[in-house]
């Protein structure tokens, strides 16, 4: 009725380095300060201070964080301070965000209360804006 379990597990134990190699998400904690560019194929969550350009698949920025440099990503959710150009396909700027720089986007969501000092430009492949044509339209 009761069977004795085998002494060894059928699944091999991996080292921490092997486990991290398959990781698709990296976190920069609030106590981290980086001076230099950050390039990642993984998604990033930044709560610290970055002085340099960031290139990644997806970026989540915490409220207390600051990024001084350009951001390039497929998707981003910005909640802290950014001083630099932002080029993102899908961008969400939450109410706690303070953006100082130009924003290039495909889709854009801005929560009421967010502060942005810069220009918005929708990225449209091959399309040119006619003189006087609005670059950003807000709907109620």
Between 121 and 11, the more confident residue is 121
Summarize the confidence of residues 73-93 as an average pLDDT.
Answer: 97
* The two three-digit tokens of residue 114, written as one number: 């967010």
Contacts of 38 (CB under 8 A, 6+ apart): 44, 50, 52, 53, 54, 55, 56
Where residue 1 falls among pLDDT bands split at 50, 70, 90?
low
pLDDT of residue 133: 43
* The two three-digit tokens of residue 110, written as one number: 């801005």
Encode pLDDT of 89-137 as tens digits.
999 999 999 999 999 999 999 999 999 999 999 987 544 444 444 444 4
pLDDT of residue 23: 57
**CA geometry: angle 130, 85, 67, nearest 5 deg:** 160
Instruction: Decide: 63 and 48 in contact? Cβ < 8 Å.
Output: no
pLDDT of residue 4: 57
DSSP code string of 93-106:
E-TT-EEES-EEEE
Summarize the confidence of residues 23-27 as an average pLDDT.
Answer: 81
Query: Looking only at Cα atoms, what is the longest distance across the chain?
Result: 82
96-103: long-range pairs with CB below 8 Å, 24+: 96/63, 97/61
Between 56 and 140, the more confident residue is 56
Query: CA–CA distance from 37 to each of 11, 40, 78, 85 (Å)?
Result: 38, 10, 18, 14
For residue 5, pLDDT beyond 90: no
pLDDT of residue 112: 95
Q: To the nearest whole number, what is the mean pLDDT of the chain?
A: 82
Between 135 and 24, the more confident residue is 24
């Amino acid at each position: 009725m009761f069977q004795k379990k085998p002494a060894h597990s059928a699944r091999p134990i991996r080292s921490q380095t092997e486990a991290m190699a398959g990781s698709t998400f990296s976190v920069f904690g609030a106590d981290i300060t980086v001076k230099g560019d950050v390039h990642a194929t993984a998604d990033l969550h930044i709560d610290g201070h970055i002085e340099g350009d960031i290139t990644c698949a997806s970026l989540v920025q915490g409220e207390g964080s600051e990024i001084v440099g350009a951001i390039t990503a497929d998707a981003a959710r910005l909640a802290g301070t950014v001083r630099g150009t932002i080029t993102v396909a899908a961008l969400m700027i939450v109410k706690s965000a303070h953006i100082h720089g130009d924003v290039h986007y495909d889709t854009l969501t801005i929560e009421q209360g967010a502060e942005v000092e810069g220009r918005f430009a929708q990225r449209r492949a091959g399309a040119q804006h006619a003189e006087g044509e609005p670059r950003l339209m807000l709907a109620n």
